[in-house]
Amino acid sequence: MKVGIVGYGAYVPKYRITAETIARAHKQDPKKITAGLLVHEKTVPAYDEDTATIAVAAAKKALTCANITPTKIGALYVGSESHPYAVKPTAVTVGEALGVGNDYMAADLEFACKAGTAALQICYALVKAGMIEYGLAIGADTAQSRPGDVLEYSAAAGGGAFLIGCNEDEIIATIDATLSVSSDTPDFWRRPMQAYPEHMNRFTGEPSYFRHVLAATEKILAQTNLKPSDFSYVVFHQPNGKFALTAAKKLGFTREQVEPGLIAPHLGNSYSATSLIGLAAVLERARPGEKILVTSYGSGAGSDSFILQTTENI
């Protein structure tokens, strides 16, 4: 049975702040910051935008794209590290706003920046098992940063939503393979009651991001007997603009394969949403029969990797 994406949607706040503005506020060199991170500007949520409202906005676009009745959704998962409540699920608030009804599975997920792709994997598995007809996977965040921290240049807001189903007349991209690589690598964390996250600075690069992204990608390529040149597009998680390009080069992908989904330079890193928004950007231009590779990353640490192929329905 083929299982894949039947609808998708993305939402980013309309407000922006440039890296230059932040750098000047902290008396830092704007050109050095921009060149080092490859982030020119980022999204800023409005005062009344939180993870729930952003998730609803993205999900409504996914439902419109799929043109299905919300009550057909059998599972709804929201991945985020900035849920509005410490104890109260975002997922049911989103389900209520969408009109899903009451007969559905729901949960909030948290795995730093890969909670959205974790939701995608769960929905894929439930549809594949025949337990539900449609699953809605959402990644949404309003990322926080300590003022003056390097994260302030990239921590952004946004949401991505994907409806997963098995009707071949509706699938616009099949999910042909998925796997994960996980480890206890504490490169980024936030204790209860702390206002801002802590991180291990450059340790978040080689031992964390690159170790997991490269391992997951290499593993899924080996399992499927595919090589970088078989893909039209590749989307990696983007804590900044440079990491995705560096990972692509290490793995043998070209800049041309990466750039269509490279959103961080102008949107920043919306954490759980980043990989999903990058995938949405790719689907906007993809043609039938094209292969797409997506590998997310979440601090703490782990990566989810997917191989998709677009259909005639795209």
Q: At 9, is the secondary structure helix, strand, or coil? A: strand
Domain ranges of the chain: 4-165, 173-310
Is 81 catalytic? The answer is yes
pLDDT band, very low/low/confident/very high, at 190 (cuts 50, 70, 90): confident
pLDDT band, very low/low/confident/very high, at 207 (cuts 50, 70, 90): confident
- % the chain with pLDDT above 70: 98
pLDDT at 202: 62
**Does 173-310 match 4-165 at the fold level?**
yes
The amino acid at residue 84 is: P
Continuous H helices in the chain: 19-25, 30-37, 51-66, 90-98, 115-128, 211-224, 241-251, 255-258, 264-267, 274-283
Given a contact cutoff of 8 angstroms between Cβ atoms, the answer to whether 236 and 215 are in contact is no
Strands across the sheet containing 157-165: 105-109, 73-79, 134-142, 157-165, 4-11, 173-182, 302-310, 291-295, 233-236
Chain mean pLDDT for the chain: 96
Residue 197 pLDDT greater than 80, yes or no: yes
pLDDT band, very low/low/confident/very high, at 205 (cuts 50, 70, 90): low
pLDDT band, very low/low/confident/very high, at 246 (cuts 50, 70, 90): very high
Rounded Cα distance between 7 and 241, Å, is 27
pLDDT band, very low/low/confident/very high, at 14 (cuts 50, 70, 90): very high
As its CATH architecture, domain 4-165 has 3-Layer(aba) Sandwich (3.40)
**Integer angstrom CA distances of residue 124 from 6, 44, 56, 103, 165:** 12, 31, 20, 18, 8
Quick one: which of 61, 163, 77, 151 has its CA closest to 116? 77
pTM for this model (two decimals): 0.97
Instruction: Pick the catalytic residue from 123, 199, 237, 290.
Output: 237
pLDDT band, very low/low/confident/very high, at 195 (cuts 50, 70, 90): confident
Quick one: which of 168, 216, 186 has its CA closest to 301? 186
Is 65 catalytic? The answer is no
pLDDT band, very low/low/confident/very high, at 173 (cuts 50, 70, 90): very high
Instruction: Pick the catalytic residue from 40, 65, 83, 113.
Output: 113
Count of Cβ atoms closer than 10 Å to residue 250 Cβ: 13
- Across 86-95, average pLDDT: 97
- Across 223-245, average pLDDT: 97
Count of Cβ atoms closer than 10 Å to residue 273 Cβ: 37
Residue 92 pLDDT greater than 90, yes or no: yes
As its CATH architecture, domain 173-310 has 3-Layer(aba) Sandwich (3.40)
pLDDT digits (tens, 9 = 90+) for 272-282: 999 999 999 99
Side-chain-facing half-sphere of 115: CA atoms under 13 Å: 26
- Across 51-61, average pLDDT: 98
Is 26 catalytic? The answer is no
Q: Which residue has the tokens 């800023």?
A: 44
The burial of 298, by beta-carbon neighbours within 10 Å (0-12 exposed, 13-18 middle, 19 or more buried), is given as buried
pLDDT at 269: 97
Instruction: Pick the catalytic residue from 81, 152, 170, 290.
Output: 81
- Across 193-207, average pLDDT: 77
pLDDT digits (tens, 9 = 90+) for 110-127: 999 999 999 999 999 999
